[in-house]
Chains A and B, each alone.
Chain A
Amino acid sequence: MSESVVLRTIGGMLFPYILVYGLYVQMHGEIGPGGGFQAGVLVAAAFILHSLLFGKELTDRLLPTWLVDLSMSLGVLLYIGVGIVGLVKGSYFLDYSVLDPTHPAHAEALGMTLVEAGVGLTVASVILTMVRKVNGEPA
């Protein structure tokens, strides 16, 4: 936790912008460089900055530990879920085209967006958990 007014003010101003930029990288990943991995790291970095500046307690209020734990699994489940839709509809695992049979390109865009969202969720929460563990907090 930092006592410096300059750091806390600038950091507090940057925090939402880092999140928005993370979201942009997340959304952009479907059509260009970017995607879930990079976006997850950016979002996690925003919260790490927050906890460095304002202390762990405040960050925990913003983003409770149980939520981080839960989203580690939820991200992967979202990914697998998209895959299982393909299986249930009688096609192959992770076959996006069943998501919108009338328009394959849309189906692919939807499938990739959902899968990347899952990746982003898992990466962000795993990185936050790793930082928490390195800080010596018990499991």
Chain B
Amino acid sequence: MNSETSMLPVLIVLIPLVGGVLAPIIGRGIFGWLLALVTTGAATFVSGTLLLFIHAQNTLTPPFAISYPLGGWPAPHGIELKIDLLSALLATLVSGMGFMVTLFSRQGVDDEIPADRRRFFWSLWLLAITGLLGILITGDAFNVYVLLEISSLTIYGLIAMGRQRNRQALTAALNYLVLGSVGASFILIAIGLLYAKTGTLNMADIHAKLLLAPVDATVLTARAFLLAGVALKMALFPLHLWMPAAYSTAPSAVAALLAATATKVGIYMGMRFIFSVFAMSGGAALSEANILIIGICCGAAIIFGSLSAARQPSLSLLLAYSSVAQIGYIVVGMTVGHIDAMTGSILHMVFHALIKGGLFLCAGILIYRLGTTRLEDLAGLGQRMPWVSGAIVVGGLGMIGIPGTAGFVSKFYLLKGLILSGHPVLAGLVLIGSVLAAIYTWRFVEIAYLRPAEDTPLRNGLPFEKFLPVLLLLGASIYLGLQPGAIIDVAHDAAQQLLGGSP
């Protein structure tokens, strides 16, 4: 690795961290937004550069990962940043989504957050992104927990800031705080048990020591705690209860950021721990019994999430419950441990972030212009806001997985992997989920296009800077649906690295 790239890993977290700390000092007025824009943009650039670099190196000499010893203390004694293809891909996704949503949210934040709190909003915003990025690139198990707390605590605060628009944001934030803390404690207990068992906190080192020791009750307990904690963080059914309320009451920018990134990082933690830490030598990472339990949860998530989405009163809640279902797809793909299913799972993480991020931004535009996302009030939206409702329909098609959209590509790989690994029932559930997605998308189409328009006045015009991120995100999902070669390549290599068991 040459000297230019050698300090890039730490910059991924350092840039948004410095921005987050500076925001309370210089973040008054427009400067908070500019600061957030510049720092998330720089973080995107850095992680994108690393992604290209690692992908190029990985094709030459697989498996390739960058290790960065913080403070010059070598692993396993020091804290190590470790970036492989999956980390770099998701770091690019998270920082890129952070940039897009920041670009979107200048007026939205002016609208929804009182003036004297905006600098603290931007501070929390950037610190949340710092925490999420940190989880993706660290190679130290305890570091994961610390960064998880950083991102969770800031996210609770960000959700509570929605109280200006909707008082229920406070209840939602409190619920998430209680449940999230339980989840984080479970993860901490798991890390503690692993430390007791192996005497080390470095993920690669834990893995190496676990391979030598026989599997005993300590390891199994640790894994159980970890899976439960991570399932709470990624909002896997039936531990999703915090999510719909949080997403629908948070400030619109926060909802988009959370939907696109926070749950994905939870899933990343699950993947990382299951395949890079707990994976047994020469065998599957999870037993058939594990797959059965997680598969039932995922199936229930897909069916229940989609059915609930179809009868929600508002677009925000509809999108939130649809996220419950989409989490089911992603987790079911990673559980079976087949290369194609894992590829599909990683692809679906990326595509779902793009699509759902774009859709939540559309909901944000509706809040900005109509002041509500209640479906009843959206009658005739197709005539009143042709661009926005068109974008929502495009996103909905992506969620169904119509050929030509990104959702098709990821679901194709998911199905292929599930069938090849001998889980036709799970594959069937994915198909049923797609049909159900068509139902809730149709519900929006019916209201927006087939009902007469209401004549409540629009409060604002459609600002270009708000629609630009929507256009870019949904455009990217269409582009990647038509030209999926490069991203499939990256996801496939990342899946291979992950299943190879090297952290």
Binding site for B on A (CB under 8 A): 69-70, 72-73, 76-77, 80, 83-84, 86-87, 90-97, 138-139
Contacts and interface: CB of A to CB of B under 8 A. Distances in A.
Interface string B7-25: 1001000100110011011
Contacts of B24: 69, 72-73
B70 A92 contact: yes
Given A72-B24, A73-B22, A139-B120, A80 B71 contact: no
A124 to B, nearest CB: 16
A83 B117 CA distance: 29
B71 A92 contact: yes
B101 to A, nearest CB: 23
Contact of A80 (B17, B68, B116): B17
Nearest to A75: B21
A92 B116 CA distance: 38
Main secondary structure of the interface of A (DSSP, over half): helix
Nearest to A88: B7
A11 B21 CA distance: 34
Q: Which 4 A-B pairs have the closest CB atoms?
A: A94-B71, A95-B72, A92-B72, A93-B10
24 contacts: A69-B24, A72-B24, A73-B21, A73-B22, A73-B25, A76-B21, A77-B18, A77-B22, A80-B18, A80-B21, A86-B72, A87-B7, A87-B10, A90-B3, A92-B68, A92-B69, A92-B71, A93-B7, A93-B10, A93-B14, A93-B68, A94-B71, A139-B117, A139-B120
A137 to B, nearest CB: 12
Contacts of A84: 14
A83 B17 CA distance: 12
Of the four ranges (under 10, 10 to 19, 20 to 34, 35 or more), the interface on chain B belongs to: 10 to 19
Contacts of B116: 138-139
A90 B3 CA distance: 9
Given A139-B116, A139-B120, 5 more contacts: A72-B24, A77-B18, A90-B3, A92-B71, A93-B7
Given A87-B10, A139-B117, A96 B71 contact: yes
A91 B71 CA distance: 9
Contacts of A76: 21
Contacts of B14: 80, 83-84, 93
Contacts of B21: 73, 76-77, 80
A8 to B, nearest CB: 34
A110 to B, nearest CB: 14
The secondary-structure label for the interface of chain B is helix
Contact of A93 (B3, B22, B25, B70): B70
A64 B388 CA distance: 48
Contacts of A91: 72
Contacts of A92: 10, 68-72
Nearest to B120: A139
A31 B211 CA distance: 38
A93 B18 contact: no
Nearest to A111: B71
A123 B17 CA distance: 17
Contacts of A93: 7, 10, 14, 68, 70-71
A86 B25 CA distance: 25
A72 B24 CA distance: 9
A5 to B, nearest CB: 39
Nearest to A69: B24
Contacts of A77: 18, 21-22
Interface string B116-127: 110010000000
Contacts of A80: 14, 17-18, 21
Contacts of B17: 80
A69 B26 CA distance: 12
B394 to A, nearest CB: 40
B118 to A, nearest CB: 11
B70 A94 contact: yes
A94 B13 CA distance: 14
Contacts of A73: 21-22, 24-25
A35 to B, nearest CB: 17
A56 to B, nearest CB: 19
Nearest to B3: A90
B18 A95 contact: no
A84 B293 CA distance: 47
Contacts of B25: 70, 73
B178 to A, nearest CB: 19
A73 B21 CA distance: 5
A69 B21 CA distance: 11
Interface string B54-81: 0000000000000011111000000000
A77 B18 CA distance: 7
Contacts of B117: 139
B414 to A, nearest CB: 39
A90 to B, nearest CB: 8
A138 B120 CA distance: 13
Contacts of B7: 87, 93
Nearest to B78: A92
B211 to A, nearest CB: 29
Nearest to B27: A73
A69 B69 CA distance: 33
A83 B116 CA distance: 31
Contacts of A86: 71-72
Interface string B185-226: 000000000000000000000000000000000000000000
A13 B247 CA distance: 52
A97 B69 CA distance: 14
